[in-house]
Amino acid sequence: MTFLFSRLGLYIISRVVTGVAVALVAVLASILLIDMVEQMRTIGEDVSMLEAFRLTLLKTPMLVEQTLPFVVLAGTMMAIVGLNRSSELVAIRAAGVSAWRFLAPSAFVGAALGVFAITLLNPIGAQFYKAFESEREDALSAFGAQAGENGVWIRQGDREGQVVIHADSVDASGTVLQGATFMFFEARDNALRFTRRMRAETAELKPGFWQLTNLVEAAPGGRPQRHTHLAIPTSLDATELINRFVTPATLSFWELPGFIHEARQAGFAPTRYELKWQSLLAYPLLLAVMAGLGAAFSLQLQRLGNLAKWGAMGVGIGLFLFFYSQLAGAFAMTQTVPAAVAAWSAPLAGMFIALAMVAFLEDG
């Protein structure tokens, strides 16, 4: 800790921060260009460049959070390679500073960025992404790129009949429909015939049934009947409904624990959200590992050659960890492994790789 905030430690921290900033600017430029073109392609040619750029800006914080591990890896490698080429690394090693102490500032920068990302960048990105989804839907409707009526459509049924459900909106939990209309169809003579219609103020999905509140029921040729509460059986899986209407990207680091708790209390399995929560908890370690890997694979002295080879190996390890985390997440989604194991396994694997690499270079 003393070395970390010494003059040399602060100098290394400043070089790493500068490298990360340069890499972030390059990534941001790529994100803005590529995503703006994608928005214009998706919405249509009639959308203005200014509108596409504004939509891209709303999506940018979330994209930065997703690409920050590679930004930290690239920025750290740029900083350490710069020290290597200017022979500052040789002078530091000649002064008796071991690689273990030398890598501490890099890991500190990564961990600090991780804490900043989950506590500030993630909540901002979640709010902006909500606005992005809303404004993108409005833009799609305005330019004729979205077919069908507004609202939400759901269908449930079996061999005896089907129920078509339309709702004006869905609340933040993903299980409560506002302004819900239920249209019942009965299977007769190999055809579906309309039997009745219900219009409810709210419809909440419970395990095995819909709980309707303040509804009006009407059948062909009959008089409308009002009910305060009514339960309708359903075979819909609430977990699938939540996953359909509530995107983990729209829930911030501070909102996820409450959402997960409420979902568990209701008897649902919020696996996607547990995985997101655990991934955010492991995010500072992941960025610290990426910074450590970037520094470790850039320690090879330039006069010994193979610096580009070692750098390519560092990038390869970073890509391996990315695909490994995606694979582990897929296993978690199928509930093959716990969400905590899937989220923490990649950072821990990267940490052991970085430690082994430093031990090999420093101690032989």
Query: 88: phi > 0 → left, psi -120 to 50 → alpha, else beta; which?
Result: alpha
**Tens of pLDDT along 74-91?**
898 888 888 877 777 778
Nearest to 272 by CA among 303, 239, 299, 295: 239
Helix axes 271-281, 307-333, angle to 10 degrees: 150
Cα distances (Å, whole numbers) of residue 336 to 3, 217, 306: 44, 44, 41
**Tens of pLDDT along 137-158?**
666 555 443 434 456 777 777 6
Confidence grade of residue 282 (pLDDT, cut at 50, 70, 90): very high
Residue written as token pair 């031990």: 359
What was the pLDDT predicted at 287?
Answer: 93
Domain boundaries, given as residue ranges, for the chain: 152-244
pLDDT for 294 beyond 80: yes
Cα distances (Å, whole numbers) of residue 298 to 3, 85, 100, 104, 106: 20, 11, 14, 14, 12
**Tens of pLDDT along 251-273?**
888 888 887 887 776 566 678 88
